[in-house]
Amino acid sequence: MLWLHQDYTKKAKHEDVVVIPDIIIHHRRTSNNLLAIEVKTSDNRELIEFDKEKLKAYREYEPLDYQYALFIRFQKLDDTGKFIVEMEYI
């Protein structure tokens, strides 16, 4: 769990906000934090940018210091139910 201060991101509605990634890969009870992942199905740019800022914080915040961060977005192409998957390393 990471407390993200409002100065770090303008999306926070309160002074501090708790952020938790959708998926984490790490070794328990060690400082070996490997990967934080955020997954979105929304086209809302504001939510997407907020998730990317969270991932950046997980990489840069020293006590957590995740080695990698990955943003994944599933975008529906049409009514056939087909999706395109976008991935971005942060």
What ranges do the domains of the chain cover? Answer: 2-89
Buried b (16+ CB within 10 A) or exposed e, 41-67: eeeeeeebebbbbbbbbbbeeeebebe
Can you tell me which residue has the tokens 């100065």? 7
> Could you read off the pLDDT tens digit of each residue along the chain, which spans 90 residues?
444 444 444 443 444 666 788 888 888 888 888 999 999 987 788 889 889 988 998 898 888 889 999 999 988 777 777 888 899 999
Q: What is the pTM of this model?
A: 0.74
- What's the pLDDT score for residue 12? 39
The alpha carbon of 85 is separated from its chain's Cα centroid by a whole number of angstroms, namely 16
Q: In the prediction, which pLDDT does 88 show?
A: 93
